[in-house]
A and B are shown apart, each in its own frame.
Chain A
Amino acid sequence: EAQVTQNPRYLITVTGKKLTVTCSQNMNHEYMSWYRQDPGLGLRQIYYSMNVEVTDKGDVPEGYKVSRKEKRNFPLILESPSPNQTSLYFCASRSTGTLAYEQYFGPGTRLTVT
């Protein structure tokens, strides 16, 4: 089954404790991205990657890091989480070979930073 998986689905942590949210896709997509979703603000892009070893900042990159060492994986790293990073996070992927740019989303990771 074609899918994007994320882990963990739920995470409660404390300020300053480094964490990583993993993301993996099995559709051989070149493009992967991370979004955060907050009430009234919709989905905002954090980082994206056009292919292996190619990453770039989205609209709200501060406080986040990413890496793309393999095509299928795109982890999101919070080096020193703060309460304003409490949010619902989604990983997404798509092919770059289509003009319609349909994205496939993971199930989400709900992060709470206390």
Chain B
Amino acid sequence: TQLLEQSPQFLSIQEGENLTVYCNSSSVFSSLQWYRQEPGEGPVLLVTVVTGGEVKKLKRLTFQFGDARKDSSLHITAAQPGDTGLYLCAGADSWGKLQFGAGTQVVVTP
């Protein structure tokens, strides 16, 4: 059973469109991280959110941590082909153990 549920599993959009990926759990996390993974490479950290309700922006990417620290979302504005990749969320418990979601494959076509 996946403790962290990511949705959708797959997302295909045209360049310039917006998209949102969701990460939900029944567990409370000390922090939540978002990674992007490209084919043939390991995941690369995009952002870490720590405080409930926290919003962080990274250029066209906006990350939000839920008030109860159980869920998070990633929103991409005006997606570009370079945003294509597997997006993974990972929640950390108080011991630092990470629980990963299954990932959302995003494909942005020109």
Contact = CB atoms under 8 A, between A and B. Distances in A.
Size band of the interface chain B makes with A:
20 to 34
Interface stretch (B11-19, B58-66, B76-84, B98-106): B98-106
A41 B41 contact: no
Interface residues of A, number: 23
The winner among B30, B33, B98, B102 for most chain A CB atoms within 10 A is: B98
Given A102-B45, A103-B45, A43 B100 contact: yes
Contacts of A99: 30-31, 50
Contact of A90 (B4, B42, B96, B101): B42
A104 B67 CA distance: 27
A101 B96 contact: yes
Contacts of A74: none
Interface of A: 4, 31, 35, 40-45, 90, 92, 94, 96, 99-108
18 contacts: A35-B100, A41-B102, A42-B4, A42-B101, A42-B103, A45-B97, A99-B30, A100-B33, A100-B50, A101-B30, A101-B31, A101-B92, A101-B98, A103-B45, A103-B98, A105-B42, A107-B41, A108-B42
